[in-house]
Structure 1
Amino acid sequence: MWFKNARLFRFTKPFDIDPEELEQKLEAAAFKPCGPQEAFRQGWVSPLGRKGQQHVHSAGGYHLIALRREERVLPATVVREAVDEQVEQIETEQVRKVARKEKQELKDQLTQELLPRAFTKSRRTFAYLAPKDGLLIVDASSDKQAEELASELRRAIGSLPVRPPAVEQAPAFTFSGWLNESIDLPGAFSLGTECELKDTSEEGGVVRCKGLDLRGDEIRNHLEAGMQVTKLALGWEDALTFVLDEDLALKRLKFGDTIQEKLDDIDTDDDHARFDAAFNLMTLELARLIPTLLEAMGGEDRSAIVDAA
């Protein structure tokens, strides 16, 4: 159970949900397959897949959840061909041109007729609530996917006071400072070999670099020309590697050999126990990393956060 991404949401108010209450609310919004005329449907499923019944997997004060989204796959080319055939038939039989509005109505009608015969595809998005850390962490490859889960969770439980974390100085300023050495890179972190730089002018050119010495002349020349670093590959304590972007999203998250060895040392053939152990290891490492990372980024701006009394 290793996340490949970590998109962070900070609770703006104290939020300590009872696992049993969370289970009841997610069960009430459980996933059901798409109906014949539905383009998509989403709902909550067990994070353990077919091996689990509960919609919430809790361990160590962390609550793992999973949102399943199913959608019908109806290629635009299929709809377009069906519309073209109908338009050609009408124009031939009625000897008239089909107007744009009528074409749109035909498209809507044919889409509804074709939907029940379309294949479906689905995906699961995992997240966990960390009330004691004040965070919701989503394993999503895009902001849209993460926001989708947060919105669905808010709908299910009635309230979800979260926002992306904010830091005291612009991430691009910090990233660029680490590479031009005007800002010290904290000792727990190491530079990878990948970054993305953006031109701050109106043209907004982008340079993506891989497999390079990030403090070499090539990168330094781009920085001296006024470009800023917006994505940066980092390592942390030989335990994790990731690419951090200016939205503070951790992408291509990889847990190191030392973490995997801890899991391998657990002597059990029970799948549930190994899942539990992996989840514990992952949450503990991220609980150590995230505050250290926010501090390295200049410190978190907590002006909009209400702390517990």
Structure 2
Amino acid sequence: MWFRNLQIYQLTDTFTLSAEELHETFQENAFKPCQGLDKHRIGWTTPLGKHGEQLVHSTNGCLMVCMRREDRILPASVVRDAIEEKVDEIEAKESRTVGRKEKSDIKEEVIVDLLPRAFTKSNRSYAYIDPKNNWVILNCPTSNKAEEILTLIRDSLGSFKVRPLAVKNAPSAIMTDWIKNKAPADVEVTDECELKEPVENGGVIRIRGVDLGSDEVQQHLKSGKIASKLAIEWQQRLSCVLVEDLSIKRLKFMDLVMEEAGDTAADDEVMRFDADFALMSLELSRFIPVLCEYLGGVDNS
């Protein structure tokens, strides 16, 4: 399970639960499929899928969890057609016009009728708790999805105090400086960034496949634009797009890391998952502190 999009949070209290204790606590909120009039359901499922039974997978002190969400698929067009059919039937049978309030009531009846028979779709979202470094790393493209997982953790534990990772310097200012001048020795700025005007509703320029040292890009910076996203590589071990809110997009572990993963003897799916998780969490435990230092250090205020 290689994470692709990171939302990073800091634990504000010491986390002491073991994998076994966390599993037992999560049992009450284990995933159950939609029933009756449920529009969606969320709950914990095993990170190992069909290859495991535990709701928490532990490697090197890090605790991997997996939230499953199931949603009913009830297209608006299907609901609309069913409403129109009922309205037409009433108007033809009773020779009268169906009013707005009655249509609203019909809509509720239609949904109640269709929802239990609707198809469902589900997805899984992964995260891990790193008690040693006081982090929660979530494999989510948005903070809203991350908050959904964190809320489920809070509901399961009763309390789970975290805050988004914060640094002392503005990431946009540091990224802009890396494009203008020079990035740290172990960071390579690649060929992609997003520049914006530092005002509300200011213009945004997305640049890809262009040398960021070119006159064209530098002119945008001279005109006052700042970097809100920047593609980088770190120590030839991983690449990503760093975002000004400290989320990380399109994380990819490079050949050096994947070769190490390939060299690990893993005879089955469980061993492979465990080895990949160990290697990924180790790489991130090296990268994130370095990144924070380049951005002025973690802001604990």
Q: Which bin holds the TM-score, normalised by the shorter protein?
A: over 0.9
Task: Name 1:245's counterpart in structure 2.
Answer: 243
Q: How do 1:43-62 and structure 2 match up within 5 A?
A: 43-62=43-62
How many Å apart are 1:83 and its aligned residue? 1.4
Counterpart pick for 1:235 among 233, 239, 261: 233
Deviation per residue, 1:150-189 (Å, 9 max, x gap):
11111111111101011112221221121122xx522121
SS at match of 2:242: strand
Distance 1:283 1:202 in 2: 37
Aligned 8 A contact 1:47 1:66 in 2: yes
Aligned residue type for 1:272: V
Counterpart pick for 1:189 among 187, 190, 200: 187
Q: Which moved more, 1:279-288 or 1:31-40?
A: 31-40
Aligned residue type for 1:298: G
SS at match of 2:132: helix
TM norm structure 1: 0.93
Within the alignment, does 1:162 sit opposite 2:169 as a pair?
no
Task: Name 1:106's counterpart in structure 2.
Answer: 106
How many Å apart are 1:88 and its aligned residue? 2.6
Distance 1:274 1:202 in 2: 47
Within the alignment, does 1:205 sit opposite 2:199 as a pair?
no
Task: Name 1:128's counterpart in structure 2.
Answer: 128
TM norm structure 2: 0.96
**RMSD of the alignment, in Å?**
1.4
Q: Identity percentage over the alignment?
A: 45
Aligned 8 A contact 2:266 2:275 in 1: no
Deviation per residue, 1:49-97 (Å, 9 max, x gap):
0010101100100000100001111111111111122223333333443
Aligned 8 A contact 2:46 2:65 in 1: yes
How many Å apart are 1:202 and its aligned residue? 4.3
Distance 1:238 1:59 in 2: 25
Structure 1 278/95 Cα, relative in aligned 2: closer, same or farther at 3 Å?
same
SS at match of 1:123: strand
Alignment size in residue pairs = 301
Distance 1:88 1:103 in 2: 11
How many Å apart are 1:203 and its aligned residue? 4.1
- Structure 1: state its 5+ residue gaps: 304-309
Aligned residue type for 1:16: T
Task: Name 1:306's counterpart in structure 2.
Answer: none
Distance 2:193 2:293 in 1: 21
Structure 1 202/19 Cα, relative in aligned 2: closer, same or farther at 3 Å?
closer
Task: Name 2:288's counterpart in structure 1.
Answer: 290
How many Å apart are 1:224 and its aligned residue? 2.0
Deviation per residue, 1:107-135 (Å, 9 max, x gap):
22211211111111000000000011000
